[in-house]
Amino acid sequence: MLAIAVLWVVLALVAAWGSLHFARRDPCPTTWMKIGLASCLLAATGAAPLWLRSDIVGEGLLGHFLLLAFWALTIFGVPLCFGSIVGALAGMHNGR
């Protein structure tokens, strides 16, 4: 569990650092679009347990693929999205 926490922190910090530098350079509408895309991915991850039940998706190959994609997004995508949003907001605040 400690390894996952360290992975989350490292991924979030790397994404925040990169997003901070890009947000200083990019115009505001581009940065808001990046924040919106990351927010949509976070919302899809948060709503996934509602539609990833076996009675809805089934037990076939598609169900297993969707479950694998959900856990990959949970492990890697969530900290990247959080870091991207925080870094972009910090870059917009400090860069302008």
Mean pLDDT in the chain?
Answer: 86
58 vs 62: CA distance, rounded Å: 8
pLDDT of 60 strictly over 80: no
User: Among 30-34, 48-52, 66-70, 87-91, which stretch is predicted with the lowest mean pLDDT?
Assistant: 48-52
User: Rounded CA gap, 6 and 16, in Å?
Assistant: 15
What percentage of the chain carries pLDDT values higher than 70?
A: 92
Query: Can you list the positions of beta strands (E) in the chain?
Result: none
Helices 2-25/28-51 angle, 10° precision: 150
In a domain, 1, yes or no: no
What's the domain range around 54?
7-95
Mean pLDDT of 70-95: 88
User: How many structural domains comprise the chain?
Assistant: 1
Q: Which residue has the tokens 């200083």?
A: 24
Whether 2 is in a domain gets the answer no
Residue 58: pLDDT over 80: no
